Amino acid sequence: MRLPGIGPKGAQRLAFHLLKTPRELTDRLIDALRDVKERVTYCSVCNNITDTDPCAFCSSESRDPQIICVVEEPQNVSAIEKTREFKGMYHVLMGALSPLQGIGPDDLKIKGLLGRIGTTVSEVILATNPNVEGEATAIYLARLLKPLGVKVTRIAMGVPVGSDLEYADEVTMHKSMEGRREV
């Protein structure tokens, strides 16, 4: 029940299921759990979760080192990878600026990002979340990065693909009108 999304009934169902499961299957689950804590670490370059250091993205020969996409959490890397379009590098901040929760610039992996901006990097895409904290983090990072002479871009906010204008909230509709592009 301490795991996310598992309530009393789900916990009981899992417990009884494990009791009925053959020993070798529970042993494999035990090994997997141990592996997670022992083998999965954070990449020393981009802070993404990885079992090798540097991670598969940072050590890849086929990815474009000129573009760094900055995200808040490792799961955001998966969200962007699913598009199968982005072939650059990543940088995981491990959170977003949030004065209410006491998260300041020093709590995020910002120094590491600045250290990566050399002559090879031509563009930094700020793909922090499109909410208050993510937007504040993007503005903060843009101010730090632009003096370094790198192009800084922000992912587009707008109406989600497949939806209807009727369901768009005012702020999203405004951003969608503001961010219109020539066709």
> How far apart are CB 62 and a copy of itself at their closest, in Å?
18
Q: Which of 133, 136, 135 is nearest to 157 (CA)?
A: 135
| CA–CA separation, 183 and 100 (whole Å) | 41
> How far apart are CB 127 and a copy of itself at their closest, in Å?
7
**Nearer of residues 54 and 176 to a copy of itself, judged by Cβ:** 176
> How far apart are CB 54 and a copy of itself at their closest, in Å?
23
The secondary element (H helix, E strand) that includes residue 126 is strand 123-126
Residue 23 neighbours by CB distance under 10 Å: 7
> How far apart are CB 139 and a copy of itself at their closest, in Å?
8
**Nearer of residues 10 and 179 to a copy of itself, judged by Cβ:** 179
Query: What are the two backbone dihedrals, phi and then psi, of residue 53, each rounded to the nearest 5 degrees?
Result: -130, 120
**Nearer of residues 50 and 73 to a copy of itself, judged by Cβ:** 73
CA 78 to chain centre: 7
Which residues of this protein are in contact with a copy of itself, per CB under 8 A?
69, 71-73, 75-76, 79-80, 82-83, 85-86, 125-127, 129-132, 138-139, 142, 146, 151-166, 168-183
* Per-residue tokens: 181: 């592009």
